[in-house]
Structure 1
């Protein structure tokens, strides 16, 4: 019983993309996944789409604008703020400085470090999805 909506993922590493998608499907989540390798096209999609978005996953280190800049742009856009889309960072970067920056400079619903192996990544994603399946927010389907 997954919440309805598209899962938006901004990730430029093809290996991480493949692992993410395999784990999501293994967890039984069949939502459509929209992939973006950079923030400009992700922002344009989020702003222009009429699709319901379930959750956004973003890496921090991306070509062009980074994931932090993307989140700031989303927070500054009245249309996207009104959409109230849950936003989670999923990155290899887990420095204290990066974590502090995202929690003090913007609204973010989570910061997770990519697992160092498949099982760790699977446990991390399972935790994230279980939380958002139960959490109430403006876009909840129940």
Structure 2
């Protein structure tokens, strides 16, 4: 995880992409934000990119490759798995079976999309704040001292 790396947003709905973009702008987030309309596009980017993303925010229900399939592909790829990219679902679904299926795939969070902009923005602020405070193994030296981000 690189706190300065790009935020990957996998979302097929243009209105929800706008909400994420506007929220991140109002929150003063400096990370580059890359938008993909389906999991297959995001997966290709992750395979081809040398960048270390900060976070993946992903919808579940999308055409071509849904969010669950994307997460499974990331977990199955040794190189992508080692990058330890935090993976958080943002979905309109709150179906318990779907939520259980998502967590069975070792995700780091499942948020129901808020219906109002302010709550949506506050949820993103919570998600980003949490991951900005987390340490990555690559940033801890063998003597236990925390190093600056690598």
Using structure 2 for the length normalisation, give the TM-score: 0.88
Distance in 2, matches of 1:95 and 1:137, equals 31
Distance in 1, matches of 2:137 and 2:131, equals 12
Alignment partner of 1:35 is 2:54:
no
Show the 5 A alignment for 1:1-142.
3-104=3-104, 106-138=105-137, 141=149
Q: What residue ranges of structure 1 are gaps of 5+ in the alignment?
A: none
Contact 1:39 1:67 in 2 (8 A): yes
Number of residue pairs matched by the alignment: 140
Say which SS state the counterpart of residue 54 (structure 2) adopts.
Answer: strand
Q: CA deviation at 1:137?
A: 2.2
Query: What is the aligned-residue RMSD (CA, Å)?
Result: 1.5
Greater Rg over alpha carbons, structure: 2
Distance in 1, matches of 2:25 and 2:53, equals 18
Say which SS state the counterpart of residue 50 (structure 2) adopts.
Answer: coil
Q: What residue ranges of structure 2 are gaps of 5+ in the alignment?
A: 140-148
Contact 1:85 1:139 in 2 (8 A): no
Distance in 2, matches of 1:107 and 1:11, equals 20
Distance in 1, matches of 2:137 and 2:56, equals 15
